[in-house]
């Protein structure tokens, strides 16, 4: 069979001269295989060697540029750049957290959630923002609590990333919630509630990274570096949290071009 195919191949590619009648008209639909091949040859010979597209430049002035940031992170403020030893220790701690989470995931997934814990659907962006950050942070308004001591109102302050919660999230949900929070962070300030959830979601993110997750964590690291520079009061605890996220993205998830240079 292979020999037969090899024998036929040279006959299939080139098209030799065809014996056609003198009254052959290339404008008439072909009636035989020979007429069809000859018509193809004629049409190919009429095609120009170079074709230039006619583009109206007026249509390109409005939307012809897409700005995509491929730069690295902005350097840490002077005196706040983390040491290499500190970064290595954070990576080791983070790795231990991930291993523990994977080992005990089935156990935590089987734990019953409190009746007030209602996890939003994966596609419910606003629901997840309120769930993770709480109405107080989400709405950026001071919510007056009731006088009675009724305990913590997680609807107002947000649910913490409990193991019983994050263990129930599949990779699609982890990626979606990470995207929601990074989108929110793109225009808002950094908060402890946000930091806890970002750390937990990164701990749940499986390697190798999917393309969308890869893009998200790079976007997150860049945003952290921007906020770190813009931090007016230079809150040491907050800058340390931002340093931590940049460290994990760059050194644990192998985005080395985003890493802080050791101080």
Report the pLDDT value the prediction gives residue 137, as an integer from 0 to 100: 79
Task: Please name the CATH architecture into which domain 84-142+153-258 falls.
Answer: Up-down Bundle (1.20)
User: In tens digits, what is the pLDDT along the chain, a chain of 263 residues?
Assistant: 445 444 444 444 455 566 667 777 777 777 777 777 777 777 777 777 676 777 766 655 544 444 444 567 898 888 889 999 999 999 999 999 999 999 999 999 998 888 889 999 999 999 999 999 998 777 766 555 544 455 678 878 889 999 999 999 999 999 999 999 999 999 898 999 999 999 999 999 999 998 999 999 999 999 999 999 987 677 889 999 999 999 999 999 999 999 998 76
Sequence-ordered list of residues with C-beta below 8 angstroms from that of 255, at least 6 positions apart, any chain:
217, 218, 221, 249
Cα–Cα distance measured from residue 92 to residue 141, given in angstroms and rounded to the nearest whole number: 38
End-to-end CA distance of the chain: 69
Cα–Cα distance measured from residue 245 to residue 182, given in angstroms and rounded to the nearest whole number: 12
Report the pLDDT value the prediction gives residue 150, as an integer from 0 to 100: 57
Report the pLDDT value the prediction gives residue 121, as an integer from 0 to 100: 94
DSSP secondary structure, 182-235, as one string? HHHHTTS---HHHHHHHHHHHHH--SSPPHHHHHHHHHHHHHHHHHHHH-SS--
3-state class (DSSP) for residue 112: coil
Report the pLDDT value the prediction gives residue 1, as an integer from 0 to 100: 47
Report the pLDDT value the prediction gives residue 263, as an integer from 0 to 100: 63
As separate numbers, helices (DSSP H) first and strands (DSSP E) second, the chain gives: 10, 0
How do the domains of the chain map onto residue ranges? Answer: 84-142+153-258
Q: What is this structure's pTM?
A: 0.69
């Amino acid at each position: 069979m292979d020999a037969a195919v090899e024998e036929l191949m040279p006959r299939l590619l080139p098209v030799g001269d065809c014996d056609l009648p003198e009254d052959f008209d290339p404008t008439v639909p072909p009636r035989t295989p020979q007429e069809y091949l000859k018509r193809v040859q004629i049409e190919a010979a009429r095609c120009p060697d170079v074709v230039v597209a006619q583009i109206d430049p007026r249509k390109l002035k409005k939307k012809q540029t897409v700005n995509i940031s491929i730069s690295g992170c902005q350097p840490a403020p002077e005196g706040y750049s983390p040491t290499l030893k500190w970064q290595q220790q954070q990576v080791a701690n983070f790795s231990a957290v991930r291993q523990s989470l994977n080992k005990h995931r089935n156990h935590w997934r089987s734990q019953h959630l409190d009746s007030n814990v209602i996890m939003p659907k994966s596609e419910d962006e606003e629901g997840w923002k309120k769930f993770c950050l709480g109405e107080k942070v989400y709405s950026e308004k001071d919510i007056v609590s009731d006088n009675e001591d009724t305990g913590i109102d997680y609807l107002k302050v947000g649910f913490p990333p409990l193991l019983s919660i994050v263990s129930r999230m599949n990779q699609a949900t982890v990626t979606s919630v990470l995207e929601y929070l990074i989108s929110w962070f793109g225009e808002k300030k950094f908060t402890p509630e946000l930091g806890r959830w970002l750390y937990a979601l990164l701990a749940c993110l499986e390697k190798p990274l999917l393309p969308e997750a890869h893009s998200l964590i790079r976007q997150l690291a860049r945003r952290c570096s921007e906020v770190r520079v813009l931090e007016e009061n230079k809150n040491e605890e907050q800058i340390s949290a931002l340093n931590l996220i940049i460290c994990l993205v760059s050194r644990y998830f192998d985005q080395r071009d985003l890493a802080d240079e050791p101080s």
